[in-house]
Amino acid sequence: MARRRRKNAPTSCASSGRLMRLQKYLARAGVASRRGSEDLIVSGRVRVNGEVVTKLGTTVDPDSAHVEVDRRRIRLKPALWLALNKPPGYTCTRHDPRGRPIIYDLLPAEVRHLPHVGRLDFMSEGLLLLSNEGDVVHRLLHPRTGIERVYHAELRGPVTAGLPDRLRAGVALEDGPARARRARWITPPHASSPTVEIVLAEGRNREIRRMLASLGVTLRTLRRTSFGPIRLGTLAAGATRELSPKERAALERAAAPACSGAVRE
CA atoms in the 13 A half-sphere facing the CB of 165: 5
Mark the ranges of the chain whose per-residue pLDDT is less than 50. 1-16, 258-265
Q: How far apart are CA 212 and CA 189, in angstroms?
A: 14
Count CB-CB contacts under 10 A for residue 52.
12
What is the pTM assigned to this prediction? 0.76
Catalytic residue among 39, 61, 63, 121: 121
121 included as an active-site residue: yes
pLDDT in tens, 25-46: 887 787 877 788 899 999 999 9
Q: How many residues does the chain have?
A: 265
Q: What is the pLDDT of residues 147-179, one digit of tens each?
A: 999 999 999 988 999 999 999 999 999 999 999
Domains of the chain, earliest start first: 20-74 (3.10.290.10), 81-253 (3.30.2350.10)
65 backbone dihedrals φ, ψ, rounded to 5°: -70, 140
Cβ partners under 8 Å of residue 221, min gap 6: 88, 125, 153, 154
Burial (CB count within 10 angstroms: exposed 0-12, middle 13-18, buried 19+), residue 208: buried
